[in-house]
Chain A
Amino acid sequence: MVEFNTQNFRMWSIMGVNPCIWSIAFPEIITKKENVLALTADLARYSGMMRTQSKYPNCFYNFGIAEQNMVGVAAGLAMSGYQIFMTTYAPFMTYRCADQIRHCLGNMNLNVKAIGSAAGLSAGLSGNALLAISDIALMRSIPNMQIFSPADCTEAIKIMLEVSKTDNPAYIRFCGSTNIPIVYTQDYDFQIGKAKVLKEGSKILLAATGFNLVANALKAAKIIEEQTGISVAVTNFHTIKPIDKDYLKTLSNFELIVSIEEHSIIGGLGSAIAEFGIQQKSFPKQIFMGVEEKEHILGKRDFMLKECGLTPEKIADRVIKELENDK
């Protein structure tokens, strides 16, 4: 039984997300539930799956570097009564397998959870091909697909345990693997599709998602408040689809919403909020912080987050400038 306590939160953060998924969450799922299988495409070692595999060898399949076949097989297994968790790097999971995911998982609404590791800017040093900065956009457009992006390692485990209770297809993305800052120091109630307010505020809302960025939004909020005296709220959108419309309905009194994500500013969390907001009679102005469509200087994730203006200081600067422009 996984214990959610402060000591474990610290340990999980040090371990990094991959062991959290495959050594903490997955064993919990397969000991509670029958007919659950894990698939990978030659990433058993990288994902940390291998350790659990040696303990539960009958629950794992490796399909080699052939992701499209893996998704099709996942669909066939799901049609035969299995729940599937499958993983590879996010760009291969989503872009390469888009048609299989669209049709076999989305249209047929099958119980397959696709886990995209090294999403966002994680693999920047390896080149453009390894970036996954429009994976959310692609997955959002697929019917029945739920999309998750945890704020820290604890939330990654909570997402795994909660999605195992659902029958829909899901996409779970992780940006980065180790040195993930802790957002939650105390246990909390996680609900699929319910955004989590982390800091109350009244004028500006930082709406963030994902490893590091939710933590960065909390730091940025402090900087903005210190420098301007304006009240800033921070909300964690761990579920991007379905977006929490009930929560979005309560935002009309804010003056500014800032969406913050390790993703293209096209089609991600920011777009999901704006698609809702534009249909309201009154909804705050929104600015989109994420990866702009331009030629990026490539490098390690922390370097690229800086390049894209997603550090606490740069988030704060951008918001303060926006406030000055609006004066």
Chain B
Amino acid sequence: MTELEELEIFSNKIRKTALDMALSSGKEGCHIGGGFSCIEIFAVLYGKILNINAQDPLNENRDRFIPSKTHCILPHFASLMHRGFISAQEINSFHENGGLLAGHPENPQIGLEFSGGSLGMGLSLGIGMALAAKKKKLSYKTYVLLGDGECNEGSVWEAFMAAAQFKLDNLVAIIDYNNMQFDGNNDNVMSISPIEKKLEAFGWEVISCSGHNINELLHALKKEPHNKPLAIIAHTIKAHGIPSLENKAESHHASLSQEDYNFVINAMKEGIYGRV
């Protein structure tokens, strides 16, 4: 089996778990839109890129992953489960009072490096971790996942400036660019376009790719720029592959219908996932 085929299978595992989580949250719903826009990003990170080990979760030289956009707990927790950090029982606690995973917790023991939720903070934290790696001469890398809407926050741009200033070539920012935020289309609410040019001007190495194409993501994440941080602009679709929610701002926090659940399960079985 090729690396690509393995990652396709891994992404389907994550997607299936994420679907089960979404369905279990019932009418209350959960963050489906931003979760399903980055299933493949998680598959490539947790299936191939991140040097992490559930048996040694606090290893000083582990790669750091900071989910700054936060609305990605479905694929994130699913990835942690499939990498052995949390159990199948524990994963269901994400919407239970007092559960191990309630409220975007920070808990490196189970692979959660940062408790997100207040947008615009994660990249700065990542800079701190990347600077620490440089100072301690450790080889780990820090990966920060940002939302495109999150990039409206001024603090993100402070961090973009600083990462280049400190020449952090051990820092990777991945922007989940689904062009959708709470109130609608980015370009209608607060555009970040042209993000590629902006980040290049800020001193970053920038790669654009399809955020749903595992091969392109893999290629982008393996890039190693010299003396500058790497930004991957992952073009994605909100609630990707879910018929009644795809590319709709309302999918941000929504409940998953049984019909949509069945549809995606069948699409995965038939290998036509994503062709809604």
Say if the beta carbon of A63 comes within 8 Å of chain B.
yes
B72 within 8 A of A: no
Contact of A72 among B106, B123, B161 (CB under 8 A): B123
Q: For residue A254, which residues in chain B have a CB less than 8 angstroms away from its CB?
A: none
- Interfacial chain B residues near A103, Cβ < 8 Å: 115, 117-118, 121
Interface string of A83-125 (1 = CB under 8 A from B): 0000000000000000110011001100000000000000000
- Name 16 A/B residue pairs within 8 A (Cβ), A-sorted: A61-B166, A66-B158, A66-B161, A69-B155, A69-B159, A72-B121, A73-B127, A73-B131, A74-B128, A75-B121, A76-B125, A76-B128, A76-B129, A77-B129, A99-B118, A103-B117
Q: Is A54 an interface residue when CB atoms closer than 8 A count as contact?
A: no
Please list the residues of chain B having a beta carbon within 8 angstroms of any beta carbon in chain A.
Answer: 60, 106, 113, 115, 117-118, 120-133, 135-136, 154-155, 158-159, 161-162, 165-166
Chain B positions within 8 Å of A77 at CB level: 128-129, 131-132
If A64-B162, A103-B121 touch, whether A72 touches B129 (CB-CB below 8 Å) is no
Residues of A within 8 A of B159 (CB): 69, 72-73
Does A142 have its Cβ within 8 Å of any Cβ on chain B? no
Residues on A close to B: CB < 8 A? 58, 61, 63-64, 66, 68-82, 99-100, 103-104, 107-108
CB-CB nearest 10 A-B residue pairs: A76-B128, A72-B124, A80-B132, A69-B158, A66-B158, A76-B125, A77-B128, A68-B155, A73-B128, A76-B129
B6 to chain A, nearest CB (A): 32
- How many Å from the CB of A275 to the closest CB on chain B? 27
User: B115–A107 contact, CB under 8 A?
Assistant: yes
Please measure, in the bound complex, the distance between the C-alpha atom of A80 and the C-alpha atom of B125, giving whole angstroms.
10
The residue that B131 contacts in the complex, of A64, A76, A100, with Cβ under 8 A, is A76
Residue of B nearest to A59 (CB): B135
Q: How far is the CA of A71 from the CA of B159 in the complex (A)?
A: 11
Closest to A68 in B: B155
**Across-interface contacts of A74 in B (CB, < 8 A):** 128
By the criterion CB–CB under 8 Å, are B115 and A71 in contact?
A: no
Cβ-defined contact, B129 with A68, below 8 A: no
Tell me whether A73 and B125 are in contact in the complex, defined as CB-CB below 8 angstroms, given that A80-B132, A81-B132 are known contacts.
yes
